[in-house]
Chain A
Amino acid sequence: DAGVIQSPRHEVTEMGQEVTLRCKPISGHNSLFWYRQTMMRGLELLIYFNNNVPIDDSGMPEDRFSAKMPNASFSTLKIQPSEPRDSAVYFCASSIGGVGKRNEKLFFGSGTQLSVL
């Protein structure tokens, strides 16, 4: 298994543009997480899916952010319109755990480095 796959690795865009980040979790994992990493705040959980259903989206900063998981093997995180303060590394992670269970081991993707100019 290639692990959690994220694309693109790097994204440079201009303020106001739509950005879509993609994630393919490890096959068989039923939990998927989107995290944002910045120097100031460290690793912040944006949204968490279990069995393709959004469980906790309290970390999504604004309505400009949206995430979907149409099936067990694909998720997207969209920012529309993007702003310079959205610049960060966005990680996707998956695990076998789920609601009511401890998520013991998360497997992280390589991340998407987003720069909004």
Chain B
Amino acid sequence: AQRVTQPEKLLSVFKGAPVELKCNYSYSGSPELFWYVQYSRQRLQLLLRHISRESIKGFTADLNKGETSFHLKKPFAQEEDSAMYYCALSEGGSTLGRLYFGRGTQLTVWP
């Protein structure tokens, strides 16, 4: 069963516009959610994690347990934000400790 769903494969916005990358999850326990990013010709890397409640490169993401969502938002997109974004969920406790990734959203920010 797909534990992490990213409904948009492609998303395009103009520079300066707000952007929201959607992520929904399915997990009965207490998940930890993450956003990973892959810029062109770079390694896939951690962008932010919900437990840190941090803002990285202007991006924020709030865990909404009622809606089982962890959408990534930025009020003013920049061209350098163009990348592939993956939402990920980590299980813990007695489970295997693996990390589940969504299928990714390719964000393009036009000048």
Choice from B46, B94, B95, B103 contacting A42 with Cβ under 8 Å: B103
A112 is an interface residue with CB less than 8 A from chain B: no
Choice from A41, A42, A98, A111 contacting B97 with Cβ under 8 Å: A98
A102 is an interface residue with CB less than 8 A from chain B: yes
CA distance A94 to B104 in the complex (A): 20
Q: Are B97 and A31 in contact (CB-based, < 8 A)?
A: yes
| Chain B, range 30-54, C-beta contacts under 8 Å to A | 32, 34, 36, 43-46, 49
CA distance A100 to B90 in the complex (A): 11
| Chain A, range 101-117, C-beta contacts under 8 Å to B | 101-106, 108-111
- Hey, which chain B residues are within 8 Å of A93, CB to CB? 44
The number of residues on chain B lying at the interface, defined by a beta carbon within 8 Å of a beta carbon of chain A, is 25
B19 to chain A, nearest CB (A): 19
Max count, chain A CB within 10 A of own CB: residue among B6, B36, B103: B103
Stretch of A17-25, A48-56, A60-68, A78-86 on the interface side: A48-56
Q: Are B99 and A33 in contact (CB-based, < 8 A)?
A: yes
CA distance A42 to B108 in the complex (A): 17
B70 to chain A, nearest CB (A): 15
B92 is an interface residue with CB less than 8 A from chain A: yes
- The contact string, 1 if C-beta is below 8 Å from chain A, for chain B 73-95, is 00000000000001000111111
- The contact string, 1 if C-beta is below 8 Å from chain B, for chain A 25-59, is 00000010101000001111100101000011000
Question: What are 8 sample pairs from A and B whose C-beta atoms fall under 8 A apart?
Answer: A43-B104, A48-B98, A56-B98, A97-B90, A100-B94, A100-B97, A102-B92, A103-B98
Q: Which 5 A-B pairs have the closest CB atoms?
A: A42-B103, A102-B92, A108-B44, A43-B101, A102-B90
Identify the B interface with A (CB < 8 A): 6, 32, 34, 36, 43-46, 49, 86, 90-104
Identify the A interface with B (CB < 8 A): 3, 31, 33, 35, 41-45, 48, 50, 55-56, 91, 93, 97-106, 108-111
